Structure 1
Amino acid sequence: MNIKIILKKYLVFIIGLYFLAAGIVLIIHSTLGTTPISSVNYVLSLNSPLSLGTCTFIVNVLLILGQFWLIRGIQSRQDRISILLQIPFSFLFSAFIDFNMAITEGLQPSNYIMSIGLLLIGCVVQSIGVVLEIKPQVAMMSAEGFVNYASRRYNKEFGKFKVVFDFTLVTIAILLSLIFTRRIEGVREGSLIAACITGYIVSFLNNKIMTRKMLSRVTSILK
């Protein structure tokens, strides 16, 4: 494959990571909770001196280690490379989260309607990030990688295992919150709304708006 095409694919992937991070930050600022995938990271950041980005990177590293454990005995060179690639991208993603948290520090909705609006905007921005992340097919983030190798290890459908994985993360976040503060933080109705509608938004964008043809036209500008 042409080196320029490869670089464009990685550029699209990195832009997707930025949108994904921005979407998560907007959802957090809605004050209605956070996404299942960032729930544990957010609770840890609320109850420690560590930033959300740092907690995200730590959790991602744990998921990366978990992937190496899942592929024991069945690993290939391609599997190892795919998992190791997640480390620099996890670092970059975490940096994007802290950057977006910094530039949106003063963003506080003044009422519930504005909170819902900010939540929905965050879901759309996050969905754009997901589409840009999956379209190039160059790498996976640690959460998706963990679900992928777990479903392969235990011969389960990816989608069903993803639901179990998300539910487990939310449960851990709630338990950690109760341990730290004796009340639930970071998981609210917004978490449920985000979990329910993000998949539909991703599907719509992927099939109707952000098609491969459209992305090819956009990336052609980079020539």
Structure 2
Amino acid sequence: MVDIALRYVMLVFGLSLMSLGIAFSIRSDLGTTPISSLPYVLSELMPLTLGALMILMNLVFVALQALILRKRFKPVQLLQIPVVVVFGLLNDVALWLVRDVSHSAYWQQWILVAIGIVLVGIGVAFQVKAQTTPLAGEGLILALSNELIRKFGVKRPFLFSSVKIQFDTSLVLLSVVIALIFTGGLAGVREGTVAAALCVGFVVHLVIRLLEPVSTVEKANIELVATDESPSDR
């Protein structure tokens, strides 16, 4: 029980850092992170906070997992719902905490983007390290990847990493379309969004190597590749 409690403390800590990183990205006015781009654009059009829209979006992700997996959707996966609610609330708290953060030059905007990328990367690393309930977005990506491999066999486009890139890209493109149609601009999707998409993964990898011995990380990477490429348990 103590080990489980510590894992969830680590998860909440990671989610808090991710939320703070997203808030700094938003304050930069150079675009937010890919996963928060759609809720941010919608928050500009609706009388709802970013956190509330994050909760609604992720609840849709949980529902989609149930539709995709059907009988293979396990009750334990419903634990994603309280995690989603906590993450949404943390996003609103983070935005309140950085409400006075501002900038007066383009280079200052990039500093805020960099802070956001580092915080999100560290937060994701702690979330991975916790090994508890994944965020609903990752859960949906995993469900899509597993089902595609189960039906069509192991192919590189169906691996988790590839599906994640496609998923994040789709969210950003949808955000761009909605922003262009309803705001006439690229609200929430700019060069900072691209930077986050390219750099967060690098920060995650670096932090995980700092949190774990090199041999353990290398072993984990080997096991992950083996899991991705083996259809035995799909």
TM-score (norm 1): 0.89
* Counterpart AA for 1:210: L
Equivalent residue in structure 1 for 2:16, among 18, 36, 57 = 18
* Counterpart AA for 1:23: G
In structure 2, how many angstroms separate the alpha carbons of the residues matched to 1:129 and 1:196?
16
1:134 aligned residue: 128
1:216 aligned residue: none
1:136-184 deviation line (CA, Å, top 9, x unaligned): 2111001100100000011110000001001100011011112211222
1:210 aligned residue: 211
1:181 aligned residue: 183
Structure 1 stretch displaced more, 102-111 or 31-40: 102-111
Cα RMSD, aligned residues only: 1.3
1:10-69 deviation line (CA, Å, top 9, x unaligned): 111111111111111111111100111111000001111100000111101111111111
Q: CA deviation at 1:110?
A: 1.3
In structure 2, how many angstroms separate the alpha carbons of the residues matched to 1:44 and 1:72?
29
Secondary structure at 1:139's aligned position in 2? coil
1:193 aligned residue: 195
2:39 aligned residue: 41
1:96 aligned residue: 90
Q: What stretches of structure 1 of length at least 5 have no aligned partner?
A: 214-223
In structure 1, how many angstroms separate the alpha carbons of the residues matched to 2:93 and 2:87?
10
Secondary structure at 1:126's aligned position in 2? helix
Secondary structure at 1:183's aligned position in 2? coil
2:76 aligned residue: 81
In structure 1, how many angstroms separate the alpha carbons of the residues matched to 2:94 and 2:68?
33
In structure 1, how many angstroms separate the alpha carbons of the residues matched to 2:68 and 2:206?
32
Q: What stretches of structure 2 of length at least 5 have no aligned partner?
A: 150-157, 215-234
Q: CA distance change for structure 1 residues 212 and 70 in 2, over 3 Å: closer, same or farther? A: farther
2:145 aligned residue: 151
Q: 1:20–1:130: 8 Å Cα contact kept in structure 2?
A: yes
1:123 aligned residue: 117
TM-score (norm 2): 0.85
* Counterpart AA for 1:81: V
Secondary structure at 1:81's aligned position in 2? helix
Q: CA deviation at 1:103?
A: 1.6
In structure 1, how many angstroms separate the alpha carbons of the residues matched to 2:137 and 2:68?
13
1:99-134 deviation line (CA, Å, top 9, x unaligned): 111121121111111111111011111111101101
In structure 2, how many angstroms separate the alpha carbons of the residues matched to 1:119 and 1:183?
20
Matched residues, number: 206
Secondary structure at 1:186's aligned position in 2? coil
Runs of 4+ in 1 over 2 A off after TM superposition: 210-213
Secondary structure at 2:130's aligned position in 1? coil
2:59 aligned residue: 61
Q: CA deviation at 1:72?
A: 1.6
Equivalent residue in structure 2 for 1:171, among 167, 170, 173 = 173
Identity %: 33
In structure 1, how many angstroms separate the alpha carbons of the residues matched to 2:136 and 2:177?
22
* Counterpart AA for 1:51: T
Q: 1:135–1:212: 8 Å Cα contact kept in structure 2?
A: no
